[in-house]
Copies of this chain bind each other. A is one copy, B any other.
């Protein structure tokens, strides 16, 4: 929208990530709102809340089953229909389903506003990308160390086992394409899940922008744990050879695509191994998906596309946020994800810098 490609016909308030304090409640918020999401009866003026970047009612089929970003009442903040958070005050529709009350979070009050803001989109989106990759049925043989389909089913009569797993079959090789702020969050989430589960791994994080690779490498110098695996950043130009070397030509178990264009999808295909997964959280537009049917058939590729159900991923993202305050809790350091907090007066310059790859995650303080 800022760049003018969204063809708006009238001004609108941007900002799809915001936290804030409740200053007024709608008429549906009262103590007898039973049978509805609990915030309708528990949220109070003065409470501090985090908002996902989309509205979710908490009451429809999609919300009940946890696919909150596809709520039947879904709206994207920062669009003409739903003014966003680049403002001193914001209206949150379906707020009892949408918001997360920090009073419900143990230790929530320890977190800086600049850290909490990461919960609105980019940290849960990174967690979602990593979670999709590790929970896919085609990844399970490598996390359970049971061959497919036993990895996802009870043993059957007449099971005839093949040869036992070798060490190389117990290791996961995964690539993350794109090291913008969401890509960095994806790497942080993926590394945490791999280490927590004590899985052997090789993770390759890819970006054409040298400053982004350097930022990710700095962050890794803080969060890295070489006990279980290896991590490296790579330019797109030589990454195919790198993956081939690391995997004896087999390819990646999963490729997490955090860019949202056809060249990223194409590279993902080239890096993924047969029976691998491409997990895409990139925001794609009107372009055709750059795959032929036979290519997907011949490699038995699986693909997951789409938006993070932030409201449902909150608990996992919050746990990671508390655990990784070393890189997610500070502002402006070499190893901080958030680079600075700016005033709206600086917005034009900052959007321009971000477009040119000269800066990463910057927050706006509407009262600054």
Contact = CB atoms under 8 A, between A and B. Distances in A.
Interface in A303-352: 303-307, 309, 312-316, 318-319
Contacts of A137: 132, 135-137
Given A160-B314, A318-B158, A151 B285 contact: no
Interface string A137-170: 1100110000111111100111110111110110
Given A147-B312, A162-B97, A314-B160, A142 B62 contact: no
A36 B164 CA distance: 10
Contacts of A61: 166, 168-169, 250
A281 B228 CA distance: 36
B104 A131 contact: no
Contact of A65 (B64, B132, B135, B142): B142
Contacts of A132: 137
A105 interface: yes
B304 A162 contact: no
A289 interface: yes
Nearest to A168: B61
A86 interface: no
A347 B97 CA distance: 63
A149 B127 CA distance: 11
A294 B285 contact: yes
Count chain B CB atoms within 10 A of each CB in A69, A165, A274, A318 and give the residue with the most: A274
Contact of A63 (B104, B162, B282, B287): B162
Contact of A66 (B151, B285, B287, B294): B151
Nearest to A97: B162
A153 B317 CA distance: 13
Nearest to A35: B163
A292 B286 contact: yes
Nearest to A100: B160
A1 interface: no
A319 B141 contact: no
How many identical subunits does the complex contain? 2
B293 A284 contact: yes
A301 interface: yes
Interface in A232-289: 250, 260, 262, 265, 274-275, 280, 282-289
Contacts of A159: 315
A306 B298 contact: yes
Nearest to A287: B293
A85 interface: no
B165 A152 contact: no
A31 interface: no
Interface of A: 35-38, 58-59, 61-70, 97, 100, 104-106, 131-132, 135-138, 141-142, 147-153, 156-160, 162-166, 168-169, 250, 260, 262, 265, 274-275, 280, 282-289, 291-294, 296-307, 309, 312-316, 318-319
24 contacts: A59-B162, A59-B163, A61-B166, A61-B169, A64-B147, A64-B163, A65-B169, A67-B141, A67-B148, A67-B274, A68-B162, A69-B300, A70-B275, A104-B158, A106-B157, A106-B158, A131-B149, A149-B316, A153-B316, A156-B315, A283-B297, A285-B294, A289-B289, A298-B306
Given A66-B149, A138-B304, A148-B312, 11 more contacts: A62-B275, A66-B148, A66-B151, A67-B148, A69-B300, A100-B160, A156-B316, A283-B297, A297-B305, A297-B307, A302-B302
